[in-house]
Amino acid sequence: MTPAKGLIVVSNRLPVVLSRNEDGWGITTGAGGLVSAMAPVLRDRGGTWVGWTGASGEHEAESLLGEFSREAGYSLKPVRLEKEDVADFYYGFANEVIWPLFHDFQSLCNFFPKYWKSYLRVNELYARAVMDSGDPEAYVWVHDYHLMHVGEMLKSMGSRRRAGFFLHIPFPPMDNYLKLPWRRRLLSALLEYDLVGFQTYRDRRNFMQSVQVLLPHVKPQGRGPVIELLLDGRKVRLGAFPISIDYRSFVRTARSPAVSGRVNELKSAMDGRRMLLAVDRLDYSKGITFRLEAFREALEKYPGLRGNVTLMQIMVPSRQEVPRYNALKQEIERLVGEINGLFSRPGWNPVQYQYRSLGREELVAYYRAASMAIVTPLRDGMNLVAKEYCACNVNRRGVLLLSEFAGAAAQLQNGAVLVNPFDREGMAQSIKEALDMPAEEARRRMDRMRDVIRKNDIFRWVDMFLLAAFSRHLDDFPPTYARK
């Protein structure tokens, strides 16, 4: 086999964040599922990551990017966005059109033509950054809904690089997708990639149904995890590749002395009560208000829970500049106050609420200390919190309450307690039944889920995608020290 070319990862954001402080610019490692997924892959293997830093005027701090690159083992290529781009491309088209539409909240969409024009303009900026990056024969891996047109624009610029695309969020049912004014052009742009990857078979099926209606000349063939489409004398592959986590890294962290000490502190603070843990980014798709209503129902219906369980709701700040998100935050805080007002007693509040990001060790300690994780999005591409909780459950005693509408449900259904997040009474009953589950059954369920995640970790996800997209395994991109 010929030596592998380099790898260029393209995403809306770089894996770092630049921010200005009193002493000038500072740089911190980014957060989120994509960073957790791709950073271990590029680390020590070389390659390039193209994206925005999240700050305006970041060209003044490019020396910091160079320092980070030398330590991380791969290069960072910043894309500079003006304030108007951020408003119309990011907050506009990405988060007021694609995000709500693809998560089944089409009533929240704002189909403004200026958003679409900005989306195309910014995708062109990313494509130009790719053209200026690395080996002209490098493999290009584009990520997520912000950049669906990059592959098409690379071709229009004369690029001969092979390019794959992965959609981290769900792809909507055809009836929802057809509401998009630019529906045909967007589908055609996605089909300019060599491979389009989805989280689940359901997402791929939804995509195919839209293709068959809007582009009937495109013919599918094959079956299984990867199928092919025939169009214009070439083949495009479509695949289902459920994203995952670095399982072994989470297990090591969970077993570390620092985390074990913090777990003891958390359990002591619970004073014998059982912790039900929910960790979400602030977003209407996460079903946080539905979950709080279900927990209130459980407390009303099952008085024995009062004083014996605590719901620890950790909410990570997100898109705080958007009025809709601020309104959601206020509604969540109102519900938390209402529940605590109804059921609190001296020494016990039923809901403990934290609005902040947690460091990795702190988060893992909460995972270990919790008797149950409640992961109940109304719609989610995958949801890595569910997998992280299982990986960190090294004592194998926890229970995962998981939404049927999370992508993770397809892989974890044989161990999780599946719930319909829209069914308040059903969720309340499931909370009670999960708390009453015999220890041996809980252990068997957790073992099944941990086994699935261990076998299908982040490195297998990358390997499956690279093999389908470029006929290359992850091992074909060896650590840089092996090339010296």
Q: Which residues are catalytic?
A: 168, 380
> Bridge-partner residues for 315, per DSSP?
280, 355
Strand partners, 27: 18
- Is 439 exposed, middle or buried (CB count within 10 Å of its CB: 0-12, 13-18, 19+)? exposed
Give dist(CA 283, CA 439) in Å, integer: 34
Distance CA(250)–CA(293), nearest Å, equals: 31
- Nearest by Cα to 173 from 116, 119, 105: 105
Residue 220, CB half-sphere, CA atoms under 13 Å: how many?
A: 18
Q: Among residues 395, 399, 452, which one has the least CA distance to residue 430?
A: 399
Q: Which positions ≥6 away from 233 have C-beta within 8 Å?
A: none
At which residue do the structure tokens 């297990």 appear?
A: 251
Show the tokens assigned to 401. 């309450």
Check: CB of residue 223 under 8 Å from CB of residue 429.
no
Give rounded-to-5 percent helix, strand, coil for the chain: 50, 20, 30
Strand partners of residue 78: 51
**Which distant-in-sequence residues (6+ apart) come within 8 Å of 398 by Cβ?**
370, 371, 372, 373, 389, 390, 442, 446
| Residue 83 identity | K
Q: Which string of DSSP letters, residue by residue, matches 163-226?
A: EEEE--SPPPPHHHHTT-TTHHHHHHHHTTSSEEEESSHHHHHHHHHHHHHH-TT-EEE--SSE
> For tokens 């909780």, what's the residue?
389
Q: Give yes or no for a contact between 119 and 94, defined as CB atoms under 8 angstroms apart.
A: yes
